[in-house]
Structure 1
C-alpha cells in the first residue's frame, strides 16, 4: 500500500508541477506581482495531496515564538523537500535563501526571483555575500519572513554537519533575532526517497536567539536549540 501511495503522489507531484509550471509562463509575462501567491498556491496543492494520498500532515509546536507580522529570520533544519514547501503555506510573505542553480529549473525556476527569493552563488565569494546581505536588507524592508537552511543541504535525521555562517552575517546586517526551527521531516519524506511514510511531520519553533550574538555563539545556539527540540526522537524540551 505504501508503494502505491508513494507512486501516486510522485505522479501527482510531477503532473501538478508541470501543469502549473506551464501556467507560470502567464505569471511571468502578465502578472509578475502574483508570482509569490502562485508559488504558495502550488505548495498548498502539493501538501494537500501529500496529506490525502500519503497520510502525511504537519504538527506545529512553538509557533507563539513567531511574531504575528513583520520581518523574521528563521533558521530551519533541512531533511526533506517538504521543508522547502511547508513555509510557503505557513508564512504570509516568505522569502527563501536558495542556491542560484535552482533558477535554471525549467518552468518554475524563473519564477523564483519574481517571487522575491534570495538566490545565492555559493562559489561567488565576497561578492556573493554582499549580494546576500543586500537582498536580506531588501526583504526585511518589505516586511518579509526569511527562511534559511544553515546546514546547506538536506541531511538525514540525527545527522550533524558544520553550519554555514551566512545566517550569522544576515542576522548582524539586519539586527534581527534568529528563530531556530527543528523538524523530523526526513522520517516521513527522506532525502531523495521514493517512499513517503504516513504520519506527522513535526515543526518546532524554538525561542529566538537574541540579536547581536557573535557568529560562533549564534551557530552553537542554533545547533543546541535543534538538539533540544521536543521531537519524538528526543525527550528534551526546546529552549
Structure 2
C-alpha cells in the first residue's frame, strides 16, 4: 500500500508542479507581486497531497514563539527533507529561504523562487558569499521578512549530527535578530531523494527565540535547543 501511495503522490506532485510552473508565466511577466502568494498556494497543495495520500499527520508545536516575534526573525531549522523547504511557506507570513544558488537555474521553478523573495547563495564563493548573505539578510530584515536557514548546510538523516555552519551566527550578529530553533523528524516520512513516503506523525517543534551571540556561543545553543525539542518525538 505504501508503494501505491508513494507512486500516486509523486506523480500528482510532479504534475501539479509542472502545471503551476507553466501557469506562473503570466505572474513572471505581468503580476510579479503575486509570486509569493502563488508559491504559498503551490506549497499548500503539495503538502495537502502529502498528508492525504501518504497518511501523514503534521503536528506543529511552539507556534506561540513565532506569534510573539511580530516581525523579522531568523528561523534556524533542521533539514531532513524536501518537506522542510515547503512548510515554512505556510507557517510565517513573509518567508525568505536561504537556498543554494544552483536552484535558481531549475526550469520553471527557479525564476519563481527569485520573484518570491528567496535568497540564492553560491556557497563555493567563500567570503564573497558571506558578504552577499549578510547584505541580503539585512534587506530581508528591513522588509520585515522571516528568514529561514538550515544551519546543517544540507539534508541530514534523522538523528544524524553534523557541525553547524557559522552563517547563522554572522546573520544574527549583523542584524541583531532573534534566532528561532526548529527541530523536525520529517526525514522519517519523506527521506532525502526517497521515492517511498511513510505514514505517521511528522513533528515540527518550534523553540523559544535565542538572542544573537558569537558563533562559539550561538551554534552550541542551537544544537542544544534542537536536542531538547526532539525529545517528545520518540
Kindly report which structure 2 residues correspond to 1:51-200, keeping only aligned pairs within 5 A, or say none.
51-66=51-66, 67=68, 69-200=70-201
- Larger mean CA deviation between 222-231 and 42-51 belongs to 222-231
For residues 231 and 55 of structure 1, the distance between their equivalents in structure 2, rounded to whole angstroms, comes to 23
Q: Do 1:183 and 1:231's aligned partners in 2 also have CA atoms closer than 8 Å?
A: no
Question: Which segments of 5 or more consecutive residues in structure 1 lack a partner in the other structure?
Answer: 235-239
Shift of 1:68: 5.4
Residues 83-132 of structure 1 show CA distances to partners (whole Å, capped at 9, x for unaligned) of: 00011111111000001100011101111111111110111122211111
- Gap runs ≥5 in structure 2: none
In 1, the alpha carbon distance for the partners of 2:118 and 2:5 equals 32
The answer on whether the counterparts of 1:58 and 1:201 sit within 8 Å (CA) in structure 2 is yes
TM-score by length of 1: 0.94
Matched, 1:32 2:32: yes
The equivalent residue for 1:217 is 217
Q: How many residues align?
A: 233
Measured against aligned partners, the alpha-carbon deviations of 1:53-88 in whole angstroms (never above 9, x if no partner) come to 111131111111113531111000000000000111
Give the whole-Å Cα distance in 2 for the aligned partners of 1:233 and 1:93. Answer: 28
1:118-147 Cα deviation digits (max 9, x unpaired): 110111122211111111011111111110
Q: Distance in 2 between matches of 1:118 and 1:95?
A: 7
**SS of alignment partner, residue 209 of structure 1:** coil
Question: By how many angstroms is 1:231 displaced?
Answer: 4.2
Distance 1:55 1:207 in 2: 30
Query: 1:19-75: per-residue Cα shift (whole Å, max 9, x none)?
Result: 000011111111111111111000000011111111113111111111353111100
CA distance in 2, matches of 1:172, 1:61: 27
* TM-score normalised by length of structure 2: 0.96
Aligned with 1:123: secondary structure?
helix
Aligned-pair CA distance for 1:230:
4.2
Higher helix share: 2
Runs of 4+ in 1 over 3 A off after TM superposition: 230-234
- Asked if the contact 2:76/2:181 (under 8 Å) is kept, the reply is yes
**Structure 1 residue 233: Cα displacement:** 4.5
